[in-house]
C-alpha cells in the first residue's frame, strides 16, 4: 500500500473516531444533566454521584482533547500537510501514524520536545507541588497521604 493510500485510509479512521467522540461527548453531557435532575437520596448517594460526575467530566475533557487533535489532523490532511513532521519537515513513519493518527511530530522531534519540557504542551508537572499559602515550601507528591478507603 502506498503512503498516499495509507493516508486516505487513515482519513476514514479519523472521521469515524471523530464522529464517535462527538456522540460520546454529547451523551456524557446529557448523562450529567440527567444525574443532576435526579438528585435524590442520602449523603452517600450524593457523594457517589459527585464522584461519578467528576469522573465523567474528566473523561469528557480527555475526549475533547482527542477530538481537537483529530480536527487538527483532518485540517492538515485538507492542506496536504498530514504526515509531515512540524519540527523537521520529514515524513512521519506510517507505523507512528497508525499508532497515533493525530501525531504532528516524528519520534525524534517528539523526544526532543519532551526533553525540553512538557510546559510547551500545557501539561502539568505533578512531581512537585507548591503550596499557595504564605510559605514558599515545596511539597513532594509523596508527602501527601490519600485515604482511598
State the 10-residue block means of pLDDT for the chain, 149 residues long. 86 87 69 54 65 72 86 92 94 91 92 76 48 51 53
pTM for the structure as a whole: 0.56
Is 80 within a domain?
yes
pLDDT of residue 78: 92
Is 149 within a domain?
no
pLDDT of residue 144: 54
Beta strands in the chain (DSSP E): 128-130, 138-140
Q: Which three cell numbers stand for residue 78?
A: 485538507
The number of distinct structural domains making up the chain is 1
Domain range for residue 103? Answer: 3-143
The CATH number of the domain holding residue 93 is 1.20.120.910
pLDDT of residue 132: 47
Distances in Å between the Cα of 124 and the Cα atoms of 107, 129, 146 are 22, 10, 20
Amino acid at each position: 500500500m502506498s503512503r498516499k493510500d495509507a493516508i486516505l485510509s487513515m482519513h476514514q479512521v479519523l472521521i469515524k473516531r471523530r464522529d464517535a467522540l462527538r456522540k460520546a461527548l454529547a451523551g456524557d453531557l446529557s448523562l450529567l444533566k440527567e444525574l443532576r435532575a435526579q438528585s435524590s437520596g442520602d449523603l452517600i448517594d450524593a457523594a457517589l454521584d459527585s464522584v461519578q460526575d467528576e469522573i465523567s467530566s474528566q473523561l469528557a475533557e480527555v475526549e475533547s482533547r482527542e477530538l481537537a487533535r483529530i480536527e487538527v489532523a483532518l485540517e492538515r490532511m485538507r492542506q496536504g500537510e498530514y504526515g509531515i513532521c512540524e519540527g523537521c519537515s520529514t515524513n512521519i513513519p506510517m507505523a507512528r501514524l497508525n499508532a497515533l493518527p493525530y501525531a504532528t511530530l516524528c519520534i525524534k522531534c517528539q523526544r526532543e520536545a519532551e526533553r525540553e519540557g512538557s510546559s510547551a504542551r500545557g501539561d502539568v508537572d505533578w512531581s512537585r507541588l507548591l503550596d499557595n499559602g504564605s510559605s514558599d515550601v515545596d511539597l513532594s507528591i509523596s508527602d501527601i497521604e490519600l485515604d482511598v478507603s
